Amino acid sequence: MVAYQVYNRTTGDRFSCEEGQSVLKAMESKGYKCVPVGCRGGGCGFCMIKVISGSYECGKMSKRHCPPEALENGEVLACRIYPTKDLVIECHSEAGNAAD
């Protein structure tokens, strides 16, 4: 299975994200807490991140939290993006990066 590397500029963390796995799921599996977590389904807007570089596919996200202009700027929900190349991200509201 293909895995992509994700570098979080906010915390300095690096982690792998398997093909078809959301960035949030990969982040959580490593014990990192860069963003608050809510519904995990794209509706609450808590896990907002900014993609600085790389490419990804998007799942369905609330247009209230991710309007087209936000998507154009790389502002997306970590629970609903799936890397197709290595990513560099920033967290909008850091919840800390310590593993449990």
pLDDT at 34: 84
Sequential pLDDT tens for the chain (100 residues):
899 999 999 999 999 999 999 999 999 999 998 888 889 999 999 999 999 999 999 999 999 989 999 999 999 999 999 999 999 999 975 444 333 3
What is the CATH number assigned to the segment(s) 3-91? 3.10.20.30
pLDDT at 1: 80
Sheet of strand 3-8, all strands in order from the earlier edge strand to the far edge: 14-18, 3-8, 87-91, 48-53, 75-77
pLDDT at 97: 39
Domain spans of the chain, in order of start: 3-91
pLDDT at 15: 96
Asked if residues 93 and 33 have their Cβ atoms less than 8 Å apart, the reply is no
pTM over 0.75: yes
Among 79, 53, 55, residue whose Cα is nearest residue 66: 79
pLDDT at 93: 59
Q: How many CB atoms lie within 10 A of CB 74?
A: 18
pLDDT tens, position by position, 22-39: 999 999 999 998 888 889
